[in-house]
Amino acid sequence: MKLFRSLLMIVVISLSISCSQEDMEEVLVKEGPFKISELAGNWEATKAQYSVSSLSVDVVENGGTVSMSVQTNGRFTLTVDPIDREAYNVSGEMFWEEWQQTFRFAIRWDKSPEVYEIYAHTYDGGTFSLNGGEGSGEYDFNNDGDFEECTVHFIFSLS
Per domain, the residue ranges of the chain are: 29-158
Region 34-43 average pLDDT: 96
pLDDT, position 27: 64
Number of H helices, E strands in the chain: 2, 9
The mean of the pLDDT values for the chain is 86
128, 121 Cβ separation under 8 angstroms: yes
- Cα radius of gyration rounded to whole Å, the chain: 21
Classify residue 144 as left (phi > 0), alpha (psi -120 to 50) or beta.
alpha
CA distance 108 to 35: 17
Q: Which of 2-16, 18-32, 141-155 has the highest mean pLDDT?
A: 141-155
Cα distance between residue 70 and residue 130, in whole Å: 14
Q: What mean pLDDT do residues 36-50 have?
A: 97
Which of 102, 125, 131 is CA-nearest to residue 32? 102
Contact 94/81 with Cβ under 8 angstroms? no
Of 143, 28, 47, the residue nearest 97 (C-alpha):
28
pLDDT reading at 3 higher than 50: no
pLDDT at 110 over 90: yes
Q: Is pLDDT of 88 > 90?
A: yes
Q: How far apart are CA 136 and CA 36, in angstroms?
A: 20
Q: What is the CATH number of domain 29-158?
A: 2.40.128.20
pLDDT tops 80 at residue 42: yes
Does position 48 have pLDDT exceeding 60, yes or no?
Answer: yes
What average pLDDT does this structure show over 46-58? 96
Share of the chain above pLDDT 70, in %: 83
